[in-house]
Amino acid sequence: MMYLQAVPEELVDWRPGEDKFSIGDLIRHLGSTELMFLHAMTHQEWKYEGHGPEKGRTLPEAIAYLQACHKTAQEGLNQLEPESLTGKVKNMLGYEVSVWRLLMAMAEHEIHHRGQLSAYLQANGIQPPQIFGLKIEQIPTTS
């Protein structure tokens, strides 16, 4: 959420190219994919609801959509029984993967798009927040 707080409202529709996600698309995509992963884990099928502007045209609306999806996903994940983590789900290529691996994929997916959002911010002259509080240059070296 720190990254989203750094986005000015006027950049919600900004995209680096015509065929690329806008910042709003990214935010809505993150929400929809949380629900997609949860659905795959609980129903053994993949279902993506899209990331169109009807899910939030303004920055606050897109963020509210992401927050609502995140809450739903958290509640659903909290209901998973520990033994279900070893259950299998076919991925979109038809290979079976463990539910625990889908949990990892959720985190990897979010990290990927956080990096994308960081690049979008920097392309617009905005320094992205430091997720650990410090830049690497601020950490003392051993030499």
Give the domain ranges of the chain: 2-138
Task: Tell me what pLDDT residue 131 has.
Answer: 78
Task: Tell me what pLDDT residue 65 has.
Answer: 99
Mean pLDDT for the stretch of residues 65-71: 98
Sign of CA dihedral 100, 102, 105, 107: negative
Annotated binding site: 29, 109, 113
C-alpha–C-alpha distance, residues 4 and 62, integer Å: 10
Tokens of 100: 């625990």
Task: Map tokens 């410090």 to a residue.
Answer: 134
Full-model pTM: 0.91
pLDDT at residue 143 is higher than 90: no
Task: Tell me what pLDDT residue 101 has.
Answer: 97
Q: What ranges in 6-142 are assigned the alpha helix state H?
A: 23-43, 59-78, 99-123
Sign of CA dihedral 87, 70, 35, 74: positive
Annotated binding site for a divalent metal cation: 29, 109, 113
Question: Contact, 9 vs 59, CB < 8 A?
Answer: yes
CATH class of 2-138: mainly alpha
Q: Which residue has the higher pLDDT, 18 or 1?
A: 18
Average pLDDT over all residues of the chain: 94
Task: Tell me what pLDDT residue 57 has.
Answer: 97
Tokens of 46: 């993949």
